[in-house]
């Protein structure tokens, strides 16, 4: 699927971008015709300037609000085939379309952290044993074990599946197979013979990207200006 903010027509002199959709995109003929009119208006406005086509570089995305919020300010990277540029997309009100401004620069990941949602995981494990209760010390040891098996993971090597809806700096990934096996082995030393089967079933049910053991990869992104 081609998103409407993947391709742009831009003016180097004004630092202004217009999101467009390539003609011939499957199922988007009407939008493409509408974009043709907008492109002609843009080119007329900037007819004495240096214009070019740009596309998203699919590096990183910064946002000051959740991505579902239409008032979120977005920062991302585009390229004209030679240089890279940092784009800032804003809108003054919900009734107006976003405006796109660009300047030479790029987005890079300065640091990244890998974690799980400990609070949700604790509540989920408690719920698994309800109406009975695990000893708090065992739950704490389990959470420590989870932290230990993911501590060595390198964020750059983790294949994330989707971005968190509530936090655009966080991407979600399943627990890697090696970490899963390591966690299973550690649980044998934490839980007794009656508890262990339920804990192992809980781990297996929640190790995927939609489970309570899903990895949350938080990226800290810097904008580098040229």
Q: Tell me the C-alpha to C-alpha distance, in Å, between residue 216 and each of 5, 107, 139, 179, 187.
A: 26, 20, 20, 14, 22
What pLDDT score was predicted for residue 25?
46
Alpha carbon distance 213, 70 (integer Å): 30
Taking the chain (226 residues) in consecutive chunks of 10 residues, what is each chunk's mean pLDDT?
65 93 48 72 93 84 83 90 92 91 85 92 94 93 97 89 82 96 97 96 97 92 69
What pLDDT score was predicted for residue 29?
45
What pLDDT score was predicted for residue 3?
41
Name the nearest CA neighbour of 121 among 43, 183, 42, 45: 183
Residue showing tokens 């508890």: 195
What pLDDT score was predicted for residue 1?
30
- What is this structure's pTM? 0.65
């Amino acid at each position: 699927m081609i998103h409407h903010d993947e391709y742009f027509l831009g003016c180097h002199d004004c630092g202004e971008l217009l999101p467009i959709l390539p003609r011939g995109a499957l199922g988007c003929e009407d939008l493409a015709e509408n974009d043709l009119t907008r492109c002609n208006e843009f080119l007329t406005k900037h007819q004495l300037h240096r214009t070019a086509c740009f596309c998203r570089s699919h590096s990183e995305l910064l946002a000051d609000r959740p991505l579902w919020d239409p008032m979120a300010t977005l920062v991302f990277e585009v390229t004209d085939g030679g240089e890279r540029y940092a784009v800032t997309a804003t809108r003054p009100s919900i009734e107006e379309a976003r405006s796109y401004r660009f300047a030479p620069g790029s987005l890079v990941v300065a640091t990244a952290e890998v974690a799980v949602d400990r609070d949700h995981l604790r509540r989920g494990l408690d719920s698994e044993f309800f109406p009975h209760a695990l000893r708090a010390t065992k739950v704490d040891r389990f959470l420590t074990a989870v932290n230990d098996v993911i501590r060595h993971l390198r964020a750059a090597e983790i294949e994330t599946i989707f971005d968190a809806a509530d936090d655009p700096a966080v991407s979600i990934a399943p627990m890697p197979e090696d970490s899963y096996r390591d966690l299973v082995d550690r649980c044998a030393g934490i839980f007794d013979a009656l508890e262990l089967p339920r804990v192992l079933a809980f781990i297996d049910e929640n190790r995927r990207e939609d489970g309570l053991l899903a990895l949350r990869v938080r990226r800290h992104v810097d904008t580098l200006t040229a």
